[in-house]
Amino acid sequence: MPIWIDPEKCNGCYNSRQPPCVRMCPGDLIVKDMLTHKASLKYVNDCWDCLPCVKVCPEEAVEFHLSAQFGEKGARLIPHVHKTRDQITWELIDIADKKEMFTIQTKIMAVSLDEPIEGVSPAPDFTI
């Protein structure tokens, strides 16, 4: 499974109807269960591995995994978006547990926890 959403960490972005991971998936593959308040990857086989869902999660609950057919799943790659939003630090841990950090300049746009759908909903019934 290319990504996995840790149910321990996922808080469903409170009462957001469409949390960032749901909105930012270009394949419309992630859904939030409004009863359990957890998001999950509904269509596992349709994932492109493009990672917006991983980067926009405010709880860092979306983990990036390598599909098992590509080798050892123990290696980890975790992006940390800086609060200043102009840098992203990637934490890479290989199978020998060696850690490497890469800090890259970028310009990360703020992503709100929910937003109205143009033409559908006037505004989310939602406050932070």
State the nearest-atom distance from the C-beta of 41 to another protein, in Å.
10
Q: How many residues bind another protein (CB under 8 A)?
A: 53
- Residue type at 103 in one-letter notation: T
Q: Does residue 75 interact with another protein by CB under 8 A?
A: yes
Q: How far is Cα 82 from Cα 88, in angstroms, rounded to an integer?
A: 6
Binding mask 27-56 for another protein (x = CB under 8 A): xx--------------xxxxxxxxxx--x-
Q: Does residue 25 interact with another protein by CB under 8 A?
A: yes
C-alpha count within 13 angstroms, C-beta hemisphere, residue 51: 12
Q: How far is Cα 94 from Cα 125, in angstroms, rounded to an integer?
A: 43
Binds another protein (CB under 8 A): choice among 64, 80, 124, 126: 64
Binds another protein (CB under 8 A): choice among 119, 122, 123, 127: 119
Q: Does residue 100 interact with another protein by CB under 8 A?
A: yes
Q: How far is Cα 90 from Cα 48, in angstroms, rounded to an integer?
A: 19
Helix, strand or coil for residue 4? strand
Binds another protein (CB under 8 A): choice among 14, 34, 67, 82: 67
Q: How far is Cα 93 from Cα 104, in angstroms, rounded to an integer?
A: 17
